[in-house]
Structure 1
Amino acid sequence: MSFTAPFENTYAALPPGFYTRLNPTPVKAPQLFAYNADLAELLRLPEAPEADLAAIFSGQTVPDGAAPLAQLYAGHQFGSFNPQLGDGRAILLGETVGRDGIRRDIQLKGSGPTPYSRMGDGRAWLGPVLREYVVSEAMHALGIPTTRALAAVLTGEDVYRETALPGAVLTRVAQSHLRVGTFQVFAHRGQKAELRQLTDYAIARHYPDADGPMGLLRAVCARQADLIAAWMSVGFIHGVMNTDNCTISGETIDYGPCAFIDDYHADTVFSSIDQMGRYAYSNQPRIIVWNMAQFATSLLQQLDDPAKAVDEATQIVHAMPAQIEAAWLRRFGAKLGLSDPQPDDTPLIEDLLTLMQAQGADFTNTFDALARGDARDQFVDRDAFDTWAARWHARRDSEDNPQTTMRSASPRIIPRNHRIEEMIQAAVAGDTTPFTRLMQALADPFQTGDTDLMRPPTTAQRVPATFCGT
C-alpha cells in the first residue's frame, strides 16, 4: 500500500509523560462506510482505493509518517474530579497542515484498548460513530467551531454493550485534542515543568499572541464564550460538558449524548446520564464558566508564586458571563433581524423565548418562520404572538435588510434526534440511503428544500434520551 500523508507530529515530540505510544488494534474486516473527500483534500491527503482507506482509517494499517499515541488527561466528570482519564479508545495518528495553513490532528476513535481504557474494550459501535459523523459535519455547515469527521469504517466485528452491535471506527479531525483536562492532570500531580511545557505548546499552536498563562486563559475564555453562544443560538445541547470534553481550541468535541431542541424548553436535557440536569440547555453558560475556573486553577499551579496571579485569573473568569451575554445578544439579535442589537433588546428576545416555551413552539422552525414571515402559525395562542410581534416590528422597522440578517442566522434544518435514530437503525440494517440523504440536506442548512427533514417529531417519533457512545 502506498499512502503517504504529510504528517508533522509536534505533539509526539513532547516528552513521553504526555502520552503512551502504541498502534491501533487491527480489526477483522474493515469496510469503508463514509469518507469526507472534501476534508481529505483540505488536509492534503492523497487519493487511494476504498480498500486502502478502510485499512488506514480502521487502524488496520498505520500510514507512513504517522506517530500513533494515546493522550493523557484528567477531568471533572459531572463535577467530580478523576485524576487520570486519557484516550481510552482513541489513537492520535498525527497532524497535518492543511491547504488553509491550519494544523489539525487526525485521530481514530474506537481503535482498540489503550493503557487508559479502564477495563473498557476500546471499541465503538456504528450508532455513536454515525451520530458524531452527522452532527459534527452539521455543526461545521452551521459555522460553529467543531471537530470534523473524515471517515467511518465498519470493522467486521461485533461490539458488546447490552447486546451485540456492529463495530465501527470514526476518524476525527480537530485543530488539536488539548483539553482543560490535559492541564488538570499535570496540575494535580504537581508537575510544574510539564505544565509549563504544555502551556507553551498550547500558546504556540493556538494563540501565538497570548502573553503567558494568563494570556492563554483570557484567549480560551473568549473563544469558549463565543462557542456557547453559538450552541444556544441553534438549540444545541452538548450533554456532557465535562472538563475533559472542553477544548483549548474552542471547538465542539465529543458528540456523545448531544441533541438539538425540538419544542423549546430552557431546561431541556437529553443525556441519559444527566439525572440532575447539570448540562441542561439553560445551564451551559454557567457550566462553561465553571470549567474555565478549573482551567484557571490548573494554569496557576505552574507559577512560582501563584497568589500574585489569582486576582487576574479571577477577573478573567468573572468577566465570562458578560462575554457570553454579549455573544448571545449578537446571535439572537440577528435571528430577529437586528444588525446591531443593544442590551435594551434583551427583553424582546427573552419574551419570545418565554412565549415559545409556554406554547411548545419548535425552536428551529419558529426562527425560520420569523425569517420568512409566517411565524404566527407556530403558536397556538396567536393573539399572544401578535402582541409580541407588534413590539418586534416596531424595533425591526429601523433595520435596512432584516430578512437577509435573519435568514443567515436561522437554519432551516438541524440534525433532529429522531432522524438520526432512524438513520442509525437503517444503517445497522444495511441501508445507507437515510445517512446519505441526511448528510446532503445538512450540508446546506440555510437553504434546504427537504421539508420532511425539517418537521419536528410526532409523539411516536420522539427520542427522549440520548446515550454516551462508550
Structure 2
Amino acid sequence: MAYDPAPKIYELGEDFYDPVQAANFPNTKLRYRDDKSAAAVGLDLSNTEWVEHFGRFKPLVDNLKEPLALCYHGHQFQHYNPDLGDGRGFLFAQLRGPDGRLMDLGTKGSGQTPWSRAGDGRLTLLGGVREVMATRYLEHLGVNTSKTFSLIETGEDLHRNDEPSPTRSAVMVRLSHSHIRFGTFQRQAFFNDTNNLEKLTDYCLRHYHSDAEGPDGLLRAAAVKSADMVASWMAAGFVHGVMNTDNMNITGESFDYGPYRFLPTLRSDYTAAYFDHNNLYAFAKQPEIMYWNLGQLAQSLSPICEDEKLLAALEDFAPAYRDSLRAHMFRRFAIEPKNAEDDIEFIMQTFRFLENSQCSWPQFWHDWQGGAGQLVRAKASPNSEFYTGEAFADWLTAYGQYEPAGKAPDGDVPVSLLYDEIGELWKPIDEQDDWAAFEDKLRTFQRA
C-alpha cells in the first residue's frame, strides 16, 4: 500500500476546528509502534522518522499543514455540555487505507488546546499502556476498534487524582476511520446552523457512508454500525465506561479508552468508571444507552430532516442489534447458528447462566469455543463445577452440534485482560522500566 494523503477535513471549514500547536516535550522515547497498521496506510518509517512525526508532530508530506483540534458538544452522563472539544488531542493527518477508506490519525496527550479548560492536555504513560492493550484485545475479540498507532514517553511528571503521582507521561496516536462524533452534529444544532449541519452531513455521506442518502440515511447507517459495535462489546464482555455522545462516532467504531473493564464474571450492573455512581453505563445497559445516544443524533439532524424519516431510521437499531449479537456470540462459540428464534433463546440462556453461576467469563469462552463438542475440555477446566445439572445439559450441550466455524483457542489458559492483570503488567514498567510482560501479553492477542 502506497502512502495516499487525503486531508479532506478542510472541506468542512474553520467552524469545525481550531489550528493548534503540539506540546514541546522534554523527551521522546518510542514505546510502541503498530507496524501492521502503518504498512496498511503506506507509512514505512525509521524509528527516528516515527518520533519526528508522532512525538514532535512534523507534518506528513502533502497532509494537514498544522494540527487541528476538532470542535464538538455532547451529553456527558446524559447532561448536555457545550464546553467540549479536543482538549488534549488533535487531528494530525488524514490518509487512505488499503480499501480506499478515509482514515484519521488523531492524538491523545499532545498538549493544551482552546478546549482544554482546566486540563494540562497530557496523558499518563499508564493511560497510554491501557489503551494499547484495550485496542489490541478488542481487535483479538472481533470488535471494530480504533488502532493504537503509536505510544511515545515524553519525560514529564504528571499529577493525577486517580493514580499515584507524580507519574510518567506519554503522547499517543490512534488510527481510526473517523473522529466525527455525534457531538459534532450536536454543536451545529446547538447553534442552529443548518448550513453547517448540511455540510457536515454531506461530508459524512461522501466519505463514510457513500451508499446512504440524506440525513435520515446517514442516521440509519450510523444506527446499524453502532448496533454492531455495541453487540460486539456484549459478546466480548466489554464495558466502555463513558458512553457519552462525544465518545460515539459516526462510523460505529469503538475508540477513546479511559475507564474500561472486561467482565471477570457477568454482572448486569457491572460498571467501569468509579464515578458512574448511578450505574448509568453498566454492562447490560449499553444497548439502551447507544439507542439513547442515537436519539440525540437524530434530534441534532431534525433541523434539516423530517422527524418521521428520522424516527423510521432509528427503528433499524433494534433488529440490527439483534442480528449482530447473534453473529458475534456464535462467532465466539465458533459454531454455526440454527435459526434466529432458537439462536436468540440460546444466547439469552447463555447470559442467564453466566450471571446466575458467576463462573469466570474468560474461562467459559475458552472452555466452550467449538460448542458442545468441547465437553471433554470443559469438564477439565477450573469452571467444571458449574457445568453440571439437567438445565445445563438441556441448554449448552444439546446445542451447536456442528463443525466449528472457527478454531479452538491455543494453549491451556484463556486469553483475558482483567483489571488486576493490567496492574500486574504495569508494575514492572513502573518499577524497573521492564516492558517484557507487556510485550508478551500483546503477542497473545491474535490479529486478523
> Following the alignment from structure 1 to structure 2, what is the Cα–Cα distance between the partners of residues 422 and 245?
28
What does residue 206 of structure 1 align with?
208
* Structure 1 residue 396 corresponds to structure 2 residue 396: no
Match of 2:34 among 28, 33, 36: 36
* Structure 1 residue 93 corresponds to structure 2 residue 92: yes
Equivalent residue runs for 1:173-212 within 5 Å? 173-212=175-214
What does residue 150 of structure 1 align with?
149
* Partner secondary structure for residue 383 of structure 1: coil
Structure 1 residue 379, shift from structure 2 partner: 4.9
Change (3 A) 1:92 1:46: same
Match of 1:264 among 263, 266, 278: 266
Change (3 A) 1:383 1:29: closer
Change (3 A) 1:347 1:339: closer
> Following the alignment from structure 1 to structure 2, what is the Cα–Cα distance between the partners of residues 406 and 47?
35
* Partner secondary structure for residue 267 of structure 1: coil
What does residue 140 of structure 1 align with?
139
Instruction: Tell me the number of residue pairs that the alignment of Structure 1 and Structure 2 aligns.
Output: 430
What does residue 449 of structure 1 align with?
none
Match of 1:436 among 423, 439, 448: 439
> Following the alignment from structure 1 to structure 2, what is the Cα–Cα distance between the partners of residues 335 and 123?
37
* Structure 1 residue 230 corresponds to structure 2 residue 232: yes
CA RMSD, 1 decimal? 2.2
Letter in 2 for 1:387: A
Change (3 A) 1:169 1:334: closer
Match of 2:368 among 367, 370, 383: 370
Structure 1 residue 143, shift from structure 2 partner: 2.5
Equivalent residue runs for 1:294-313 within 5 Å? 294-303=296-305, 309-313=306-310
What does residue 242 of structure 2 align with?
240
Q: Deviations over 1:37-78 (max 9, x none)?
A: 121111111322x23322321235344433311000110000
Match of 2:320 among 307, 311, 323: 323
* Partner secondary structure for residue 105 of structure 2: strand
What does residue 24 of structure 2 align with?
26
Are 1:20 and 1:70, in contact at CA under 8 Å, matched by a contact in 2? yes
Are 2:223 and 2:294, in contact at CA under 8 Å, matched by a contact in 1? yes
Q: Deviations over 1:158-181 (max 9, x none)?
A: 122232111100111111100100
Are 1:88 and 1:120, in contact at CA under 8 Å, matched by a contact in 2? yes
What does residue 70 of structure 1 align with?
69
Gaps of 5+ in 1: 304-308, 446-470
> Following the alignment from structure 1 to structure 2, what is the Cα–Cα distance between the partners of residues 201 and 433?
44
> Following the alignment from structure 2 to structure 1, what is the Cα–Cα distance between the partners of residues 58 and 27?
12
Structure 1 residue 103, shift from structure 2 partner: 1.8
Letter in 2 for 1:354: R
Deviates more, 1:330-339 or 1:170-179: 330-339
> Following the alignment from structure 1 to structure 2, what is the Cα–Cα distance between the partners of residues 61 and 426?
32
> Following the alignment from structure 1 to structure 2, what is the Cα–Cα distance between the partners of residues 251 and 284?
15
Equivalent residue runs for 1:373-384 within 5 Å? 373=375, 374-376=377-379, 377=381, 378-384=383-389
What does residue 217 of structure 2 align with?
215
> Following the alignment from structure 1 to structure 2, what is the Cα–Cα distance between the partners of residues 102 and 190?
30
Q: Deviations over 1:225-278 (max 9, x none)?
A: 111111111101111110000011110011111111012222211211211111
Q: Deviations over 1:288-339 (max 9, x none)?
A: 1001000111111234xxxxx2122122223422321232223324445342
Are 2:24 and 2:56, in contact at CA under 8 Å, matched by a contact in 1? yes
> Following the alignment from structure 2 to structure 1, what is the Cα–Cα distance between the partners of residues 41 and 273?
33
Deviates more, 1:58-67 or 1:139-148: 58-67
Structure 1 residue 5, shift from structure 2 partner: 6.3
Are 2:101 and 2:208, in contact at CA under 8 Å, matched by a contact in 1? no
Letter in 2 for 1:105: D
> Following the alignment from structure 1 to structure 2, what is the Cα–Cα distance between the partners of residues 370 and 226?
23
Structure 1 residue 382, shift from structure 2 partner: 4.4
* Partner secondary structure for residue 134 of structure 1: helix
> Following the alignment from structure 2 to structure 1, what is the Cα–Cα distance between the partners of residues 49 and 336?
50
> Following the alignment from structure 2 to structure 1, what is the Cα–Cα distance between the partners of residues 274 and 101?
36
> Following the alignment from structure 1 to structure 2, what is the Cα–Cα distance between the partners of residues 253 and 202?
18
Letter in 2 for 1:133: V
> Following the alignment from structure 1 to structure 2, what is the Cα–Cα distance between the partners of residues 395 and 60?
54
Q: Deviations over 1:348-384 (max 9, x none)?
A: 3323322222221111211221223233451545433
* Structure 1 residue 359 corresponds to structure 2 residue 364: no
Gaps of 5+ in 2: none
Are 2:106 and 2:175, in contact at CA under 8 Å, matched by a contact in 1? yes
Are 1:239 and 1:257, in contact at CA under 8 Å, matched by a contact in 2? yes
Change (3 A) 1:367 1:297: same
Change (3 A) 1:381 1:44: closer
Equivalent residue runs for 1:157-168 within 5 Å? 157-162=156-161, 163-168=165-170
Are 2:101 and 2:207, in contact at CA under 8 Å, matched by a contact in 1? no
Structure 1 residue 405, shift from structure 2 partner: 4.7
* Partner secondary structure for residue 95 of structure 1: strand
What does residue 340 of structure 1 align with?
338
Q: Deviations over 1:433-469 (max 9, x none)?
A: 1111111111359xxxxxxxxxxxxxxxxxxxxxxxx
Equivalent residue runs for 1:255-294 within 5 Å? 255-294=257-296
* Partner secondary structure for residue 396 of structure 1: coil
> Following the alignment from structure 1 to structure 2, what is the Cα–Cα distance between the partners of residues 216 and 206?
9
> Following the alignment from structure 1 to structure 2, what is the Cα–Cα distance between the partners of residues 137 and 367?
18
* Structure 1 residue 112 corresponds to structure 2 residue 120: no
> Following the alignment from structure 2 to structure 1, what is the Cα–Cα distance between the partners of residues 326 and 80?
33
Change (3 A) 1:396 1:40: closer
> Following the alignment from structure 1 to structure 2, what is the Cα–Cα distance between the partners of residues 348 and 106?
40
Aligned identity (percent) is: 28
Letter in 1 for 2:388: D
Deviates more, 1:374-383 or 1:276-285: 374-383
> Following the alignment from structure 2 to structure 1, what is the Cα–Cα distance between the partners of residues 4 and 395?
56
Letter in 2 for 1:36: D
Are 1:89 and 1:109, in contact at CA under 8 Å, matched by a contact in 2? yes
Letter in 1 for 2:72: Y
